[in-house]
Amino acid sequence: MAPTGATEDPVSGRAVRPSNSDHRSPHPPGYREGLKRIAPVAPASASFGIAFGILASTSGLGSFAPIVMSATTFAGSAQFAAASVLDDGGTVAAAVVAAVLLNLRYLAISVAVADAFDGSRLRRFFESQLIVDESWAVAQRGGGRIDRRILVAAGLVLYPCWVGATALGVFGGGLLGKPERFGLDAAFPALFLALLVSVVKTRREITAAIAGGALALALLPFAPPGVPVVAAAAVCLTGLWTR
Amino acid sequence: MSATWVVVLVVGAFTISFKAAGPLLLAGRQLPARLASAFELLAPSLLAALVVTQSLGGKDGIEVDARLIGVGAAAVAIWLRAPLILVVVVAALTTALVRLL
């Protein structure tokens, strides 16, 4: 725990720069804060859900399977990877390995955020399924902690967007054009960059960010999809020896 | 069972268990101090990696395109302390405009 993190505020002012939340109150309600923070990316997420529905149904995954995949896997990049491997004539094993590798980071995230979750086993199970990059990223409080209510609210917005948009893509087809046409593929790195800047405070955190980014960049040209991000996540384990 | 359903079910089962593992098995429990201290670095390293892979990743490794200019514009907006929504809109609009040119 960071020394400055002693406050028990659900959303401490420390975690997010004032520019990211215009609240005057030091105690913004967590759920509402989650809605507010996820609103800018929900449209981008929905447009990629449509794109996934189109890609999946045109690459022979049928109509029902892509929607079930969005409802159960609920993780964009892995779903795209699996669908495009099958589209390229890849084997079942190749599609599974690519998608599972891409989602391996959720194991690290899940363990790291575990102590923020409470309540019944059923509740913890369902709330844990709302963990996606975007909901986890906007829930950052700094010092490695997250606000569970922000994560849950953000996830509850993204989930119906993603699943509904997939159905729209499967059945509605290409009415809307590619999300790339509207630059929506740049919305995600922009979101992650803004949140990166808001969580990086100490020298240790800056070093971890540079190491993670550099490692991902170095591996990107030749490593299979998912490996660069998992390797960068593993960079945090160097924190076992540095304080 | 068709290949599609095998992929959907296996990937779904893995992903659901990855996400549930922490909150189900470790909820409310403090991680050992050293591990907690290491996990403080997960957000910086993982977010930085996502920035890199999402702005440069393509079908065959690195793909430099209009996204990078959009993310550059977003960086300027972040530096000017623009709110999150503006940062995202600036990135998308800039990328879309560059693609039009």
The residue of B2, B45, B56, B60 whose CB has the most chain A CBs within 10 angstroms, and thus the best one to mutate to test that interface, is: B45
- Encode A100-125 in three state secondary structure: HHHHCHHHHHHHHHHHHCCCCHHHHH
CB atoms within 10 A of CB B48: 27
pTM for this prediction: 0.81
| CB atoms A113 and B22 under 8 Å | yes
**CA angle, A41 as apex, B23 and B77 as ends, to 5°?**
115
Q: What is the CA radius of gyration of chain A?
A: 18
Share of chain A above pLDDT 70, in %: 86
Nearest-by-CA chain A residue for B82? A19
Per 3-state DSSP, chain A is made up of helix, strand and coil in percentages (nearest 5) of: 70, 0, 30
More confident residue, A95 or A11: A95
For residue A2, what pLDDT is reported?
Answer: 39
Nearest-by-CA chain A residue for B69? A186
pLDDT 10s digits, A65-74: 999 999 999 9
CB neighbour class for B32 (10 Å; exposed up to 12, middle 13-18, buried from 19): exposed
Residue window 90-149, chain A: list those with CB within 8 Å of chain B: 92, 95-96, 99-100, 103-115, 117-118, 121, 124-125, 127-129, 131, 133, 137, 140, 143-144
* Cβ–Cβ under 8 Å, residues A31 and A135: no
Residue window 156-175, chain A: list those with CB within 8 Å of chain B: none
Nearest residue to A102 (alpha-carbon basis) of A72, A73, A143: A73
pLDDT 10s digits, B91-100: 999 999 999 9
Range with the largest mean pLDDT of A41-45, A141-145, B18-22: B18-22
Q: Left if phi > 0, otherwise alpha if psi is -120 to 50, otherwise beta: which for A144? A: left
How close is the nearest chain B Cα to the Cα of A53, in Å?
14
| CB atoms A124 and B24 under 8 Å | yes
pLDDT at A1 over 60: no
DSSP annotation of B31: P
| CB atoms A118 and B21 under 8 Å | no
pLDDT at B9 over 90: yes
* Cβ–Cβ under 8 Å, residues A165 and B63: no
How close is the nearest chain B Cα to the Cα of A199, in Å?
7
For residue A39, what pLDDT is reported?
Answer: 93
Kind plus residue range of the DSSP H or E element containing A196: helix A187-199
CA B34 to chain centroid, in Å, comes to: 26
- In this structure, of A55-64, A207-216, B83-92, the range with the lowest mean pLDDT score is A55-64
**List of chain B residues whose C-beta atoms are within 8 Å of the C-beta of residue A233:** 42, 45-46, 49
**Ranges assigned E (strand) in chain B:** 57-58, 61-62
Nearest-by-CA chain B residue for A56? B4
Which residues partner with B58 through β-bridges?
Answer: B61
A76 vs B20: CA distance, rounded Å: 18
ipTM of the complex: 0.91
Tokens representing A177 are 């054009």
pLDDT 10s digits, A115-152: 899 999 999 999 999 999 999 999 998 878 899 999 99
Q: What is A149-174 written as a DSSP string?
A: HHHHHHHHHHHHHHHHHHHHHHHH-T
For residue A243, what pLDDT is reported?
Answer: 59
> Both ends of chain A: CA-CA distance in Å?
11
A2 vs A62: CA distance, rounded Å: 49
Residue window 211-230, chain A: list those with CB within 8 Å of chain B: 211-213, 215-217, 220-222, 225, 228-229
Residue window 22-41, chain B: list those with CB within 8 Å of chain A: 22-31, 34-41
What residue has token string 């399977």? A65
Nearest-by-CA chain A residue for B88? A187
Average pLDDT over residues A230-242: 84
| CB atoms A69 and B11 under 8 Å | yes
